[in-house]
Amino acid sequence: MICKFVRTCALLGLVNCSSGGAASQGAERGAPAPLAVLTSISTFKSFVSAVGGTRVRVESLVPVGVSPEDYQPTPADIERLHAARLLIENGLGLEAWLARTIENARNPNLTVIVASRGLPSKAGNPHLWMDPELARGYVRAIRDALTAIDPGGRELFSQNAQAYDRRLVALDHEIAKRIATIPAPSRTMIVFHNAWQYYDDRFGLRTLGVIEPSPGQEPNPAYVASLVGLARRHHVRAVFAEPEYSPKLVQTLAQSAGIATVEDLYDDSIGTDPRVYDYDSMLRYDTSVIAKALGGR
Ligand SMILES: [Zn+2]
């Protein structure tokens, strides 16, 4: 039986016939089949694409424009996890639904990388990637994970990671310059959810208040009133939110405090807006919106 199988392969001129499926199809063309990689959120897709290049095929589990903090996984997600080789998640509670979904996928070949592991988190806030300096750590973790699974790509992954790392350093400088145009007393934000702590700390802004401190739990009126008081005392210029959340609370707060609303910041998800199609363009767009709303350029 084995002999017959080998002979059939030889007759067909196939290389690596016994490994089957996509890998052998790729080998026929002289290139390995792309590695199936999943990321929890769309924001991380740019990191994987930049490092993996043509050796990976990457998708995000949480669709663009959806919050990962209260995402409900679908049966299709379980299937995708079953077929994937590598999953990049953030950790620190961002994807509370994910552990069970991975379990249900029953995929012994799946490598799971918690990208924030080893990086300095603050009070359990999961949004470390919003600081480009910390995003460099995500890129290193992704480079190492890809190399471990696909050692033949070592050189490519290393070169790509280095090039992307340089882009992140340049992006970091660019953002710092832009934020510096905001008058110092105005460098404060009230935000819908606490996605901005690392970005703010990096660039000398301050998250003064958070409308929804616990994902999915609407704050009570007394808490919203306390934020209005805070906004007035500190002369906060704007309240910021993402398009995936209901604007009702943001508008109530802004009207009561007599300040502006910005409802199109992107952080957990890139945008459906074509200007916000990857990590770099997302942070550039956000920075531009924040700088203008707070009186900078
Ligand atoms: Zn978030």
Q: How far is the CA of 117 from the centre of ligand 1 (A)?
A: 17
All domains in the chain, ordered by first residue: 24-175 (3.40.50.1980), 181-293 (3.40.50.1980)
Q: How far is the CA of 22 from the centre of ligand 1 (A)?
A: 35
Distance (Å, rounded) from C-alpha 246 to C-alpha 158? 42
Q: How far is the CA of 104 from the centre of ligand 1 (A)?
A: 24
CA torsion through residues 205, 210, 211, 216, sign: positive
Q: What is the mean pLDDT of residues 194-221?
A: 95
Q: Return the C-alpha torsion angle 180, 213, 122, 125, nearest 10.
A: -100
Q: How far is the CA of 82 from the centre of ligand 1 (A)?
A: 26
Q: Beginning with the edge strand found earlier in the chain, give each strand of the sheet holding 206-210 in spatial order.
A: 206-210, 188-191, 238-240, 260-262
Q: Is the pLDDT of residue 10 over 80?
A: no
Q: How far is the CA of 200 from the centre of ligand 1 (A)?
A: 14
**6-15, 209-218, 244-253, 277-286: which is most confident:** 277-286
Query: Between residues 29 and 147, which one has the greater pLDDT?
Result: 147
Q: Which residues of 226-237 are buried (b: 16+ CB within 10 A; e: fewer)?
A: ebbeebeeeebb
Q: How far is the CA of 210 from the centre of ligand 1 (A)?
A: 12
Q: How far is the CA of 68 from the centre of ligand 1 (A)?
A: 7
Q: How far is the CA of 72 from the centre of ligand 1 (A)?
A: 15
**Nearest to 48, CA basis, from 139, 151, 109, 116:** 139
pLDDT of residue 17: 33
pLDDT tens-digit series, residues 88-129: 999 999 999 999 999 999 999 999 999 999 999 999 999 999
Q: Where are the alpha helices (H) located in the chain, listed in sequence order?
A: 2-12, 21-28, 45-52, 75-83, 98-105, 132-149, 154-179, 197-203, 221-233, 248-257, 279-293
- Residue 204's pLDDT band (boundaries 50, 70, 90)? very high
- Residue 24's pLDDT band (boundaries 50, 70, 90)? very low
pLDDT tens-digit series, residues 147-189: 999 999 999 999 999 999 999 999 999 999 999 999 999 999 9
Q: How far is the CA of 116 from the centre of ligand 1 (A)?
A: 14
Q: How far is the CA of 242 from the centre of ligand 1 (A)?
A: 10
The 8-class DSSP code of residue 29 comes to: T
Q: Is the pLDDT of residue 11 over 70?
A: no
Distance (Å, rounded) from C-alpha 161 to C-alpha 140? 7
Q: How far is the CA of 93 from the centre of ligand 1 (A)?
A: 10
Q: How far is the CA of 278 from the centre of ligand 1 (A)?
A: 16
Average pLDDT of the chain is 91
